[in-house]
Chains A and B, each alone.
Chain A
Amino acid sequence: MNNGIDTSPRWSRAARGAALPLVLLVTWQVWALSLPTGSPAPAPLRVLKAAVELITTGGLLDALAQSLGRVLIGFAAALVLGIVLGVLMGSSRAVRDNLDPIVESFRPIAPMAILPIAILWFGTGTPSALAIVTYAAFFPVLVNTVHGVTRVDRKLVLAAQTMGVSRLSILIRVVLPGALPSIVLGSRLAMGVAWTAIIAAELAVGAKSGGGGSGGIGQMMFVFYAYSIDLNAIVVCMIMVGVVALLIDRLFRWLEPRLIPWKQ
C-alpha cells in the first residue's frame, strides 16, 4: 500500500529498474544468436549497428525532421482553429448549442479514418499528412479550450464589465489567462496524438501509394518493411518514435509551469 515509501539509495533503485530490461535484452540477443545466419530477425547488437548507420548516413535525422516539421505545422493550425472556435463556443451559448452536436459526432472518428478522404482531396503528399495531423490535434485543443473558457470565474468577467473594460480586453486579459491552464493541457494531449497521427499517416500513405514519396519517419519504416526488409532498421525507427514522443511530453511538462506561473 502507500505506507512503504522507498528509502533505498538511488543506485539500488536504478539497478532494480534496469534489471528486467537488461534480462530481456540479453534473452533477445541470445535468442537471435541461436537463429541460423541470414535470418531477418532483429537483435539488440544489430539494432545498435543499424542505428549508427542510419544516423550517420541513412538520413534518419532528416526523416525525423521532416515528420516533426509536419507535426508542428499541423499542430499550429489546430491550435489556432481550436482556440478560436473554443473561445467562441465557450463564451457564446448559441454557438455552443449549434456546434456541440457536430463536434461530438466527429470526435469518435479516428484521424486515420479520414485518411482516404484526405488522399482523395489532397493526394498522397505532405498536404494529406498535414490534414490528418490538424484533424487529430484539433479536438483535444478545442474540447479543453471550451472547458477552460466555461470554467473562468464569472465574477471576474462581471467585475471587468462593471469597470467598463471592453469585450476584446476582457477576452485577452480575463478569459484567455483564465482558460490557459486548460488550453496548455489540451495542447500537450494534442501534440501527443499529432505525433502518433503523423506516423500513421506517413505509414499508410506509403503503404497505399506504393511507396510514393511522402517522406518522414513513417514512410521510412514502411520502406524498410516493404522493400529492403530490414527489421533492425524498423526497430531503430520505433525507438526513435518513442524517444521523440517522450521528448515532446517532457518539453510540455517543462513549459507548463513557465507558461502559467500563477497556477501551482
Chain B
Amino acid sequence: MKTQVVLPNAHIGFGPLRRMLRQRWFLALRAFTLFAAFWWVFFVWNDNPLQLPSPVRVVAALGSLIATGELFEHALISTTRLLTALGIAIALAVPLGFWMGLSRTAEAFIDPLIELLRPISGIAWLPLALFIFGVGNTLPVFIMVYVGFFPILMNTMAGVRQIDPKLIAAAATMGVGRRALLLHVLVPAALPTVMVGIRLAFAASWAAIVAAELIGAPSGLGFAIEWYRQLLMTPKVYAFILIIGVVGYLCDLGLRALQHVMTPWSEGTGLQ
C-alpha cells in the first residue's frame, strides 16, 4: 500500500555513476565489504585466530581448497547424496500423495500414521540409524529421505485436493480415460504445489545433511568442517561453512529455475 513512489537514494540524482550506486549488486558488494570490515575489526579485537581467523586467511584457505580439488570433492559427495535422497523422496512421496489426495479411504488409513511419524525430526533418527546403517553413505541419505518425504507428501496431497473439480468433470464429460485424466489434468494441475514441496524438502534435507555427515559419514561437507575443527585448522572450517551456504543457495536457484521450466503456468500465482 504505497501512496508515493520513493526512489532509493533519490537525492543522488541520475547519471551513470549515480545509477550504478543504486544497483542491487552494488548494494550487496557494499554490504559484504562492510561485513568483512567488521569481521576484521572483531578479529583484531578478539586476537585469537583459532576462534576467528582473519577474512584474508579464510579466503586463502578457500583458494587452496579449490586448488587442491578437495572442496569440489566434498561438495560433489554431499550434492550427490542430496540428489539421491531427493530422488528417492520424490519417488515415494509423490505417488503416495496423489493416492492419498484422490482417495478418501487411502487418506483415512495412512494419514494418522504419517501424523504420528512427522513430529519426530530426522535428527532424532540419527542414533538408531547409526546403529542400523553404520557410518557411511546410507545414513545421510536415509536421514534426508525421511526429512524430505513429509513436505513433498503434504504438498502433493494439498495440490491434488485443490484441483478445480470442474476440470475433472469437464474431462470426464469429454470421455477422457483415467490415464489421460491423470497425465493431462491431475498432474499438470498439482505440479506447481508439488514443486514448492520439493523446494521445502530440499531446504530441510540440506540442513539435515550437515548434521548427518558431521556425526555419521566419513566424507562430505559436514564431515569436512568437523574434521578441520579437530585439526584446529579454523580458516578451513570457515571456508567449508561458506561453501555449505553457497552450494545451498545455488541448489535453490537451480530448483527455482527447474520450477520455472517445468511449471511456466504457475508464474505469478504466489507459488514462486
* Pair from one complex: yes
Which residue of B has the minimal Cβ distance to A249? B119
Residues of B within 8 A of A229 (CB): 131
Q: How large is the interface on A (under 10, 10 to 19, 20 to 34, 35 or more residues)?
A: 35 or more
Residues of A within 8 A of B3 (CB): 154-155, 158
Interface residues of A in 85-110 (CB under 8 A from B): 93, 97-102, 105-106, 108-110
B245 near A224 with CB under 8 A, answer no
A113 near B130 with CB under 8 A, answer no
A97 to B221, CA, bound (A): 31
B249 near A108 with CB under 8 A, answer yes
Asked whether A170 is an interface residue with its Cβ less than 8 Å from the other chain, the reply is no
**What's the minimum C-beta distance from B217 to chain A, rounded to whole angstroms?**
12
B102 near A1 with CB under 8 A, answer yes
Contact partner of B226 (CB less than 8 A), chosen from A19, A98, A116, is: A116
Contact partner of B225 (CB less than 8 A), chosen from A6, A101, A113, A245, is: A113
Residues of B within 8 A of A109 (CB): 241, 244-245, 248
A120-B123 CB under 8 A given contacts A99-B31, A113-B225: no
Asked whether A196 is an interface residue with its Cβ less than 8 Å from the other chain, the reply is yes
Residues of B within 8 A of A231 (CB): 128, 131
Asked whether A24 is an interface residue with its Cβ less than 8 Å from the other chain, the reply is yes
Which residue of B has the minimal Cβ distance to A157? B1
**What's the minimum C-beta distance from B214 to chain A, rounded to whole angstroms?**
6
A102-B31 CB under 8 A given contacts A6-B108, A203-B123: yes
Question: Which residues from chain A sit less than 8 Å from chain B, CB to CB?
Answer: 1-4, 6, 13, 16-21, 24, 40, 93, 97-102, 105-106, 108-117, 119-121, 153-155, 158, 195-196, 199-200, 203-204, 207-208, 221-222, 224-225, 229, 231, 234-235, 237-239, 241-243, 245-246, 249
Return 26 A-B CB contacts under 8 Å, by A number: A4-B104, A21-B112, A21-B116, A97-B8, A101-B32, A102-B31, A108-B206, A108-B244, A109-B245, A110-B206, A110-B208, A110-B244, A112-B222, A115-B226, A120-B51, A199-B123, A207-B215, A222-B127, A234-B127, A238-B120, A238-B124, A238-B128, A241-B120, A242-B116, A242-B120, A246-B119
What 8 pairs across the A-B complex have the smallest Cβ distances? Answer: A108-B248, A17-B112, A116-B229, A242-B120, A225-B127, A110-B207, A101-B28, A245-B119
